[in-house]
Chain A
Amino acid sequence: MFGTLSYNKQKNIIIVSFLLIPLILLGTFTYYPAIKLIYYSFTNWDGYSPEKPWVGLANYREVFSTPDIFLVFKHNFAYFVMGIIQNIVAIYFAVVLNSKLRGKNAFRIMLFLPYIMNGVAVAFMFGYVFDTTNGSLNMLLNSIGLSGLSETSWLGTEGLVNYSLASIGFWRFMGYNMVIYIASLQAIPRDIYEAAKIDGAGTFQTLWRITLPNMKAVIQLNLFLTVTGALEVFDLPFVLTKGGPAGASQTYVMRVVDTAFAYNNYGLASAMSIILLFFVVFVLLIQQLVLNRGGDK
């Protein structure tokens, strides 16, 4: 029946019917919430009342005039720092594993392993590793002679907790970055290296002048993921410290979630979400700008 229609008609039917449900899903669960979020951000809706009183820009004014809200980004900063280190280590291991080396496949499999592990299980695993009295990290430090450090409360010290948590992220995602960097290294044509060798370039010169410039696009993608990942951290502190001690590990998204679901202030939470969205877009634009300006590749 369907097969007897002309291919042109079939084409139109297929386009509409194949896209209908997927686009409805995309609209309902991605774009509609985003639009609703913008609307909520101009109200002081409590999350359950039928009326959503319009308050104009009051929520945005509140966000920008409450230093407390922006100060939590200080906690997110730790994730950014660790993320940068994570990328540098990942590039290092990618370069190492892309060279002639015995057993490099086994090393790659090992280093990528944490990425596929369950995040909550990993968080609790580190909860145990970082534990002050029973923790195996302190035990390890003690046994290698660093007993001065072995009394450290990794998750209970204000200045330290975010770095401890961020290092769990490092542990989980370094291998992921590394595998992506390895793929981008393998895409660099061999003959460039041969030519460089003939011209007498040393190992570090080759790395600096050929390898890294050729990885630029992928490095930028990973940096974008690092920055937005740092802005959007939620699960590690949520599972492990609940934002403690005394709010020292609360992140911006945790604050948004609390504002909405614990304090029923959906309006303010929505405004905070929109501001986060602007930050993400801002980071993306800056990167695009840098990418296009230095766009010799």
Chain B
Amino acid sequence: MAHTKFRFIDFIKYFSLLIGVFVVLFPPYVVIVNAFKSTDEFNATSSTALPKSFLNFDNFVAVFERGGLLSGFGNVLFIIIITLTLNILFGTMVAYVLGRFSFKMKPMVFGAYLVATIIPSITTQVATFGIIKDLGLYNTLGAPIVLYIGADVIQIILYMQFIRNIPFDLDENAMVEGASLFKIYRSIIFPLLTPATATLVILKTIGIYNDMYIPYLYMPKQSLGVVTTVLMRFQGVNSGEWNLICAAILIILLPTVILYIFLQRYIFEGVTSGAVK
């Protein structure tokens, strides 16, 4: 009896998981099959039917020619590289100071980062907009960069956890040898934070790549489109031509999916360490 009951539970488990996977994969499947269809083929076939050939790249070529997608990729890559370089630098610096020294203002500094998370940044943009304009950054790549580089509290907590696990002996030994505190940060702490940095780089890359609001609001200029705003414009101009839009969607989905397939371990680590602690 107990045996058959166990089997039944297993059946339920697998069945529900398969439904879950089907629900997850159905929309991308539809996008994939239609991205390879010519307009005539698209109109003639069902939207779930396979294309005649998966080698028909006409839609992808059209997207690149018409959509300005290359400059979108270029812009977002530029933003990501500059932002992450500075963000990792600042993030490790703050975490080093908060993790290794005690000083009077320390709880206040940490508290300032903590409280910042409950301010919905999406609505404070009404005021941020004026600041960006006053700084002369409106309609420049500088706008998203300055808005993204600030470290967030999850990043700081993640780094501080790592710093706590670096034995203080290492610092002391270096001090005995006469190393300055800056040198300790640069040649001991920073390199030992690499695993956390890797996780953060991946998560933040995905975050910036996927962001729509900030580029939309601060860089309406055509030449400053990033992938999300380019896609929005492309959809606006070509609305109804679903086979083309599917190709554009696919091109934009692909980079993060590839990143995810190869680096999922880091992504899971980052997501869980940020939230569970």
Residues of A with Cβ closer than 8 Å to B? 2-3, 5, 7, 10-11, 14-15, 18-19, 21-23, 25-26, 28-34, 36-37, 40, 47, 92-93, 96-97, 99, 101, 107, 109-114, 116-122, 124-126, 128-129, 131, 134-136, 139-140, 143, 171, 175-176, 179-180, 182-184, 187, 203, 218, 221, 228, 231-232, 234-235, 239, 253, 256-257, 260-261, 266, 269-270, 272-273, 276-277, 280-281, 284
Contact = CB atoms under 8 A, between A and B. Distances in A.
A228 B127 contact: no
A30 B116 contact: yes
Given A15-B97, A126-B27, A257-B125, 19 more contacts: A10-B180, A22-B94, A22-B150, A25-B150, A30-B150, A32-B131, A36-B131, A107-B20, A110-B20, A112-B264, A119-B210, A120-B232, A121-B249, A121-B252, A121-B253, A139-B47, A139-B48, A183-B276, A269-B126
Which of B93, B126, B175, B209: most chain A Cβ within 10 A? B126
A110 B276 contact: no
B93 A22 contact: yes
Interface in B23-39: 23-28, 30-31, 34
Contacts of A92: 16
The 5 A-B pairs at the shortest CB distance, nearest first, are namely A273-B123, A3-B180, A183-B272, A33-B127, A36-B127
A113 B146 CA distance: 29
A143 B264 CA distance: 35
Contact of B256 (A31, A116, A276): A116
A202 B31 CA distance: 44
A14 B97 contact: yes
B16 A96 contact: yes
A101 B123 CA distance: 44
B178 interface: yes
A14 B185 contact: yes
Contacts of B228: 118-121
B123 A10 contact: no
15 contacts: A2-B180, A10-B180, A10-B182, A19-B97, A22-B90, A22-B93, A26-B112, A26-B116, A93-B20, A107-B21, A119-B212, A124-B245, A171-B27, A187-B276, A253-B123
A93 B31 contact: no
A14 B181 contact: yes
A15 B46 CA distance: 64
A17 to B, nearest CB: 9
Contacts of A114: 24
Contacts of B206: 116
A263 B103 CA distance: 48
A30 B138 CA distance: 17
Contacts of A184: 276
State the majority secondary structure of interface residues on A: helix
Interface of B: 9-10, 13, 16-17, 20-21, 23-28, 30-31, 34, 46-48, 90-91, 93-94, 96-97, 101, 103, 109, 112-113, 116, 118-131, 146-147, 149-151, 175, 178-183, 185, 206, 209-210, 212-213, 217, 227-228, 231-232, 235, 242, 245-246, 248-249, 252-253, 256-257, 259-260, 264, 267-268, 271-272, 275-276
Contacts of B101: 11, 14-15
Contacts of A112: 264, 268
A258 B85 CA distance: 34
Contacts of A273: 120, 123-124, 126
A118 B252 contact: yes
B188 to A, nearest CB: 14
A251 to B, nearest CB: 11
B178 A3 contact: yes
Contact of B30 (A3, A99, A129): A129
Contacts of B212: 119-120, 235, 239
A173 to B, nearest CB: 11
Contacts of A15: 97, 101, 103
Contacts of B94: 18-19, 22
B232 to A, nearest CB: 6
Contacts of A122: 27, 253
A111 to B, nearest CB: 6
